[in-house]
Amino acid sequence: ETGVTQSPTHLIKTRGQQVTLRCSSQSGHNTVSWYQQALGQGPQFIFQYYREEENGRGNFPPRFSGLQFPNYSSELNVNALELDDSALYLCASSLGAPGQGAPEAFFGQGTRLTVV
Amino acid sequence: DAKTTQPTSMDCAEGRAANLPCNHSTISGNEYVYWYRQIHSQGPQYIIHGLKNNETNEMASLIITEDRKSSTLILPHATLRDTAVYYCIVSRNSGGSNYKLTFGKGTLLTVNP
């Protein structure tokens, strides 16, 4: 149990639709990162939010967007879904601070998205 | 971030030490070495990290060579529940809270009874 919860756990969407995935971070954590994990691959960094601002982005198109709320929970939105978006989407929370070494990240169980 | 190289798979007998190697020959001075593991159908779990000194916690030990070009994760007494994919990651904190974890394919460790 990491204290990071994601919803829903599973989701099936049709190509072209939009989806919103949610993440509740561990209490007190101010940083949330999102990762995409395709079958048989390691997780790939999508983006990170620190105190409600995007704080780094991986090699993903603009149709992947996110939000972080004042309570530090977060959403990942994907527009115009493609078949290749089928993957496990992972959220990780951590407590970051300027000048600190990179902190330990706590991952949720993920949302399994299937695009048909 | 520096790239890492890990064996695709390893086996270990239950109760024995599991030694998982990682090469990171292009690591730079401000980059840390992290180890995470992912048990099937779960999110990755942090194990340990270090900069240049060896580290130990309740889960594992991390041995980093003096030139920092390679490291070894040691699980001292492997159990069946340690069967997982183990990821060695090199990452830096580029200021503020800006960092990312670049996962490769990792090493599938299978602990056998």
Give A-chain residues touching B42 at CB under 8 angstroms: 109-110
Q: How many CB atoms lie within 10 A of CB A59?
A: 7
Residue of A107, A109, A111, A112 to mutate, interface with B, max B Cβ within 10 Å:
A107
Closest by CA position to A20, among listed A58, A74, A75, A102: A75
Q: Which of A55, A102, A108 sits opposite B91 (nearest CB)?
A: A102
Cis peptide before A8 (omega within 30 of 0): yes
Q: What is the per-residue pLDDT for A80? A: 98
Q: Tell me how close the Cα of B48 comes to any Cα of chain A, in angstroms.
A: 8
Closest by CA position to A25, among listed B36, B43, B29, B95: B43
Q: What is the per-residue pLDDT for B33? A: 92
pLDDT in tens, chain A (116 residues): 668 999 999 999 999 999 999 999 988 888 899 999 999 899 999 999 988 888 889 999 999 999 999 988 999 999 999 999 999 999 999 887 655 556 688 999 999 999 99
Any CB–CB contact under 8 A between B98 and chain A? yes
Instruction: Provide φ and ψ at B59, rounded to 5°.
Output: -95, -40
pLDDT score of B98 more than 80: no
- Beta-bridge mates of residue A57: A47
pLDDT tens across B6-65, in order? 999 999 999 999 999 999 999 988 888 999 999 988 999 999 999 898 999 999 999 999
End-to-end C-alpha distance for chain B, whole angstroms: 37
pLDDT score of B97 more than 70: no
- Beta-bridge mates of residue B84: B109
Taking residues B88-110, what's their average pLDDT?
79
Q: How many CB atoms lie within 10 A of CB B63?
A: 16
- Chain A positions contacting chain B at CB under 8 Å are 2, 4, 30-31, 33, 35, 40-45, 48, 50, 55-56, 58, 90, 92, 94, 96-110
Q: What is the per-residue pLDDT for B94? A: 54
For residue B11, what are the CA distances in angstroms to B64, B106, B108, B109?
A: 22, 14, 8, 6
Q: What is the per-residue pLDDT for B29? A: 85
Any CB–CB contact under 8 A between B97 and chain A? yes
Q: Do A98 and B97 touch (CB under 8 A)?
A: yes
Q: What is the per-residue pLDDT for B45? A: 95
B56's enclosing H/E stretch is strand B55-56
